[in-house]
Each structure stands twice: as C-alpha cells, then as structure tokens.
C-alpha cells in the first residue's frame, strides 16, 4: 500500500556499493529473514492496516520492529503509532502517540492564502532530539533541508523524545519519529532528491 516501485528504485540506487539485496515482498517468512525492513504506506490508514492484516505480514512486521532496523514511510510511519483519527484506526502501538487530521479551515498562511489539506509539496524539516543531537539517519543532511510531503494527517507523539524531526504547516508537527531501532518519516524520501537518498543510504548502514 505505497509507492513500492519508487521506494525500491531509490533504495537500490543507494545499495549499489553494499552486499544487500533489495526487494519487495509480501512473504512473512522472507520478511523475517531480512536484515532490515522498510514499511511504506500510502492512501487511507484503515486500508493500509487492513492490508497488513490480510497479507499475514502484521506479525512479521512486529517481529522485525523488535529486533532489526525498520524504516516507516508516510502511512508506514503513522501505523507505528497507537491510533489514527483516520477511519478510527488502531495502529501497531510501537511508538506511543496519535495520528491527527489537520484542522486548518480557518487558518491563513503568511501571504493571506488558505492552507490546503492535504499538504502537498516541499517543506523544511527541523531536526530535533532531546539530547540536542540529530538522529544518525540525518547524518549529512542539513538541518532545515526540504523534503516532499503528501498528507492530510500528522503524527503527535506522546513523548517529545520520539519526535526526531519537525515541520511547520499551520503549526509544528512531527515529520520524523524514532525509537531505538525504529525510524520513520511522514515525508517521502524517494521523492525528495538527494536528501531523501541520503536518508535511505544512512539506513542501510545504520547499526542501532
């Protein structure tokens, strides 16, 4: 339930100097054997969680989240949280927090225009971490670099320590979340040019 081909091509592009094989799978056993996992998602949260359940991948994703590097993308990030207002959907509960809908109907941008929902386009991401250091996956990415977003809902983590990056759209929201071996972004690295490719390359070499 995501830009699988775009993600595949982006990760293969940065994996050329590694021994890793990058592939799409719907096989729980293959997912269990993987060294690291990327969980993309696109569309409605309820549909994505439903497909995860129907495919039999839910248990394998939870197993991966317990013991290997996992990177969630867009709705793949939102699924890591406890609950989403979209479709009143229960998430995987891996990072405490909620997914909320933008409420910007009466809010104007600096130029007087109205905010559009979904947010669609490039937005700056401010790297955040409780100890003052950026997350290792942001290595080589300038603070405030722009990434590509398409979303109507945003993550609100229960604990500030789990928000690894923020963007501003009407108000500040979590654009990247992280805990231990988990990292996820609301934006699409595969659509974010060199900065996004750097994130994927860092993920392939990440040893949390």
Q: Which of the residues are catalytic? A: 74, 188, 190
CA distances for 103 relative to 115, 163, 198, angstroms = 10, 20, 32
- Give the separation between CA 81 and CA 146, rounded to whole angstroms: 24
Rama region for 160: left / alpha / beta (φ>0; ψ in -120 to 50; rest) = alpha
Judged by DSSP in three states, 73 sits in strand
Give the tokens for residue 130.
């409780």
Token pair in block for residue 26: 């719907």
Residue whose tokens read 């248990």: 59
Joined tokens for residue 16: 């050329």
3-state secondary structure of 117: coil
- Residues 16 and 43: their CA atoms lie apart, in Å, by 30
Q: What is the DSSP string of 76-131?
A: HHHTTSSEETGGGEE---SS-EEEEE---TT-B-TTSPBPPSSEEEEEE-EE--TT
DSSP annotation of 170 reads: S
């Amino acid at each position: 339930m995501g830009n699988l081909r775009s993600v595949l091509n982006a990760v293969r592009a940065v994996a050329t100097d590694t021994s890793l094989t990058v592939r799409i799978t719907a096989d729980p056993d293959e997912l269990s054997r993987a060294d690291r996992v990327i969980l993309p998602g696109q569309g409605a949260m309820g549909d994505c969680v439903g497909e995860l359940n129907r495919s039999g991948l839910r248990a394998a994703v939870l197993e991966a989240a317990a013991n290997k590097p996992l990177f969630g993308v867009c709705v793949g990030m939102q699924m890591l949280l406890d609950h989403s207002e979209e479709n009143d959907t229960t998430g995987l509960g891996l990072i405490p927090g909620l997914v909320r809908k933008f409420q910007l109907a009466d809010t104007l941008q600096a130029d007087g225009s109205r905010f559009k929902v979904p947010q669609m386009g490039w937005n700056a991401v401010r790297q955040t971490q409780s100890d003052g250091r950026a997350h290792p996956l942001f290595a080589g990415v300038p603070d405030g670099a722009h990434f590509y977003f398409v979303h109507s809902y945003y993550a609100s983590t229960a604990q500030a320590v789990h928000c690894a990056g923020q963007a501003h759209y009407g108000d500040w929201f979590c654009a990247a979340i992280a805990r231990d071996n988990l990292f996820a972004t609301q934006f699409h690295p595969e659509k974010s040019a060199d900065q996004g490719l750097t994130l994927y390359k860092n993920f392939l070499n990440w040893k949390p």
